Amino acid sequence: MKASLLDLLADALALDADAPAIFHRGQSRSFRWLEGQSDGFAAALAEAGIAPGERMLLCLQNVPEFLVALLGAAKAGVVTVPINPMYRAAEVERVAADCTPRAVVCELAHARDVLGDALPGLLRFTVGEGGTFPQSAEAQPFAARPRDPLMLVYTSGTTGQPKGAVIRHANLLAGARFYRTAARLQPGEPILAAAPLFHVTGLSGHIGAALAARAPLILTYRFQAEAVLEAIERHRPVFTVAAMTALVALIEAPAFAPERVASLRTVFSGGAPVAPALRDRFREATGVTLRNVYGLTETVAPVIACPREPEAPVDPASGALSTGKAVPGTRVLLLGEQGETCLPGEAGEIVVAGPSVVEEYWQAREATDEAMRVEGFRTGDIGVMDDQGWIYLIDRKKDMIVASGFKVWPREVEDVLYAHPAIREAAVVGAPDAYRGETVKAVISLRKGASLDEQELIAFCRTHLAAYKVPRIIAMLDDLPKTPTGKILRRALRG
């Protein structure tokens, strides 16, 4: 049994040290290169006096140095805290105040133009032309154990103050095994890093999966549809996992053609529910049947996923596409308001337990006790399970709209909106209403070249939804606000 992330790298080295580990900007870097570079970085951390268990901020886009820093920190026993490189100084300082790091790894331009005088006392290791990314002589590697903390990954904060999920080596290994098995990954088969590496999807579904499969990882700095299409065509990946918004951007890019993505065998989408219409649109464009997966920062990897076959069903009551079934080795419960187990067809909170699920938040005992229960991690998401074990995600518990006493789940309305051929993105939120308490507000963006009249859209919704679920407010934007991983930010659309 593997003990740490470093064991996956050791296996890849034993199989073929000179095989490509990374494709980036036309260059190939081997597993031998990754081993040597991460050894040097680990030694530099030790020479700087950073002790095992201390924290290091990792603030990079999808570049080879991200893997070097993560693996080097693991070799030194230092806990990595990945953060968004688009963060401004105040945002970085908030994370730093919580996790008290000793060092930060970032691009030289970020250190100069964004951080400035922020984070005094932190060692700065910089990447890029003129940067000071360190390499030192070999040091004694830290002997990592399965339960040793590997990373603190902060939640997106879509429903409150971000919290640092303590991800142990064992959690990431479980996530890596899931991806390798579910996507049937083989050594040497390239994986496209479509998600940011600083996000848990990138950490487990890209880095973890690639190391577990002993396969090369394709990096494109950040997601830009044209660059990603070029990388797919050049390096022929067989697998990726990405937010639905990124996948839609890919197939709607002007330069898209089915033959450019013909190498893709398996594509997962997570981060937000997939509407049946979007699943069908992706399949028509690529020939690949998108597989829905469900996970959170706290679960590290999917805990619910659609198997390769049969195809995921659509719930006849709500029209929702199934998120899948509990992945092997994971327990999924649906619990009611009083903690009772829901019967098939009854809506309840999704509660999960399994080897990839974290046990605690960093120095947040109250939040840990509230979310990490004996029965499992309480996700805050509401779902329904049928008698065959298929699970349908309804929505976030906190996103439910109550209009004139009727419950409206935004997800159900969004699925209808996505069925309209003119709509590219859609989000539904509650808006204050003096008479109804709340009313349904839809915010949409249109596909390129499309036009849509507000009354036409309301009429379309009336043919598919009960009257109280039909949006009474329609707003159109060029693009909807999103998290760095492509999840639409409903909170920014309320009011």
In the predicted model, is pLDDT for residue 1 greater than 70?
Answer: no
What pLDDT is recorded for position 153? 97
Q: Is residue 393 part of a domain?
A: no
Q: Is residue 206 part of a domain?
A: yes
Distance, CA of 231 to chain centre = 21
What CATH number did the domain enclosing 482 receive? 3.30.300.30
Whole-prediction pTM: 0.86
Q: Is residue 274 part of a domain?
A: yes
In the predicted model, is pLDDT for residue 301 greater than 90?
Answer: yes
In the predicted model, is pLDDT for residue 159 greater than 50?
Answer: no
Q: How many domains does the chain have?
A: 2
What CATH number did the domain enclosing 342 receive? 3.40.50.12780
Q: Is residue 139 part of a domain?
A: yes
Q: Which two tokens stand for residue 464?
A: 């598919």
Please report the DSSP string for 351-417 in residue order: EEESTTS---BTT-HHHHHHHEETTEEEEEEEEEE-TTS-EEEEEEGGG-EEETTEEE-HHHHHHHH
What single-letter amino acid sits at 31? F
Contacts of 183 (CB under 8 A, 6+ apart): 209, 238, 239, 265, 266, 268
Q: Residue 435: pLDDT band by 50, 70, 90 thresholds?
A: low
Instruction: Tell whether 122 and 218 lie within a shared domain.
Output: yes
Q: Residue 274: pLDDT band by 50, 70, 90 thresholds?
A: confident
What pLDDT is recorded for position 100? 96
In the predicted model, is pLDDT for residue 484 greater than 90?
Answer: no
Please report the DSSP string for 180-246 in residue order: HHHTT--TT--EE--S-TTSHHIIIIIIIHHHHHT--EEE-BS--HHHHHHHHHHH--SEEEE-HHH
What pLDDT is recorded for position 439? 87
Q: Which two tokens stand for residue 384?
A: 């329904």
Rounded distance between C-alpha atoms, residue 194 and residue 205, angstroms: 10
Q: Residue 394: pLDDT band by 50, 70, 90 thresholds?
A: confident
Q: Is residue 277 part of a domain?
A: yes
Q: Residue 90: pLDDT band by 50, 70, 90 thresholds?
A: confident
Given 323, 358, 383, the domain boundary residue is 383
Mean pLDDT of 347-365: 96
In the predicted model, is pLDDT for residue 195 greater than 50?
Answer: yes
Rounded distance between C-alpha atoms, residue 443 and residue 417, angstroms: 10
In the predicted model, is pLDDT for residue 27 greater than 80?
Answer: yes
The H helix count followed by the E strand count for the chain is: 14, 25
pLDDT digits (tens, 9 = 90+) for 28-67: 999 999 999 999 999 999 999 999 999 999 999 999 999 9
Rounded distance between C-alpha atoms, residue 351 and residue 349, angstroms: 6
Instruction: Tell whether 187 and 249 lie within a shared domain.
Output: yes
Instruction: Tell whether 159 and 261 lie within a shared domain.
Output: yes
Rounded distance between C-alpha atoms, residue 197 and residue 193, angstroms: 8
Containing structural domain, residue 406: 400-493
Strand partners of residue 361: 165
Q: Residue 495: pLDDT band by 50, 70, 90 thresholds?
A: low
What pLDDT is recorded for position 317? 78
What pLDDT is recorded for position 158? 44
Task: Characterise 352 by phi-psi region: left (phi > 0), alpha (psi -120 to 50), beta (else).
Answer: beta
| Length, in residues, of the chain | 495
Instruction: Tell whether 121 and 246 lie within a shared domain.
Output: yes
Q: Residue 275: pLDDT band by 50, 70, 90 thresholds?
A: confident
| Contact in structure between 40 and 135 (CB atoms under 8 Å) | yes
Q: Is residue 447 part of a domain?
A: yes
Instruction: Tell whether 230 and 361 lie within a shared domain.
Output: yes
In the predicted model, is pLDDT for residue 245 greater than 90?
Answer: no
What pLDDT is recorded for position 45? 94
Mean pLDDT of 446-455: 90
What pLDDT is recorded for position 136? 76
Rounded distance between C-alpha atoms, residue 289 and residue 222, angstroms: 25
Q: Is residue 389 part of a domain?
A: no
| Torsions phi, psi for 370 (to 5 deg) | -70, -35
In the predicted model, is pLDDT for residue 278 greater than 80?
Answer: yes
Q: Is residue 394 part of a domain?
A: no
Instruction: Tell whether 161 and 187 lie within a shared domain.
Output: yes
In the predicted model, is pLDDT for residue 87 greater than 60?
Answer: yes
Mean pLDDT of 249-271: 95
Instruction: Tell whether 143 and 172 lie within a shared domain.
Output: yes
What pLDDT is recorded for position 405? 65
Rounded distance between C-alpha atoms, residue 217 and residue 189, angstroms: 9
Tell me what the pLDDT averaged over the chain comes to. Answer: 91
Mean pLDDT of 290-308: 95
pLDDT digits (tens, 9 = 90+) for 129-146: 777 787 777 777 788 899
| Burial of 59: CB neighbours in 10 Å, binned 0-12, 13-18, 19+ | buried
